[in-house]
Structure 1
Amino acid sequence: MCDSCKRTFTLQDIHEQLSKDKNRCLVIINGLVCDLTDFVDEHPGGGDIIIRNNGKDVTSAFQCLHSRKTRFRVNDWAIGTFVDSLSELSSHNGIYKQ
Structure 2
Amino acid sequence: MPTLTKLYSMEEAATHNKQDDCWLVIDGKVYDVTSYMDDHPGGDDVLLAATGKDATDEFEDAGHSKSARELMEKYFIGELDEEETCVQEIPELKIFKKDQNFMDLTKQYWIVPVSIITVSIAVSVLFSRKK
Relative to the length of structure 1, the TM-score reads: 0.69
Check the 8 A contact 1:63/1:71 in 2, yes or no: no
Matches within 5 A, 1:18-37: 18=16, 23-37=20-34
Shift of 1:87: 8.0
Shift of 1:76: 1.2
Query: Could you tell me which of 36, 49, 55 is aligned with 1:52?
Result: 49
Match of 1:69, SS? helix
For structure 2, the 5+ residue unaligned runs are 87-131
Matched, 1:12 2:3: no
Relative to the length of structure 2, the TM-score reads: 0.54
Check the 8 A contact 2:50/2:58 in 1, yes or no: no
Match of 1:70, SS? helix
Task: Show structure 1 runs of 4+ deviating over 4 A.
Answer: none
1:72 to 1:64, Cα distance in 2 relative to 1, 3 A: farther
For structure 1, the 5+ residue unaligned runs are 89-98
Q: Quick one: which amino acid aligns to residue 36 of structure 1?
A: V
Check the 8 A contact 1:11/1:84 in 2, yes or no: no
Check the 8 A contact 2:19/2:44 in 1, yes or no: no
Question: Percent identical across equivalent pairs?
Answer: 27
Aligned to 1:62: 59
Check the 8 A contact 2:9/2:85 in 1, yes or no: no
Figure out how many residues of one structure are paired with residues of the other and give that number: 83
Greater Cα shift, 48-57 or 32-41? 48-57
Q: Quick one: which amino acid aligns to residue 12 of structure 1?
A: E
Match of 2:37, SS? helix
1:22 to 1:62, Cα distance in 2 relative to 1, 3 A: closer
Name the CA distance, whole Å, in 2 between partners of 1:76 and 1:63: 18
Match of 1:42, SS? coil
Name the CA distance, whole Å, in 1 between partners of 2:71 and 2:50: 18
Alignment RMSD: 2.5
Query: Could you tell me which of 69, 76, 79 is aligned with 1:78?
Result: 76
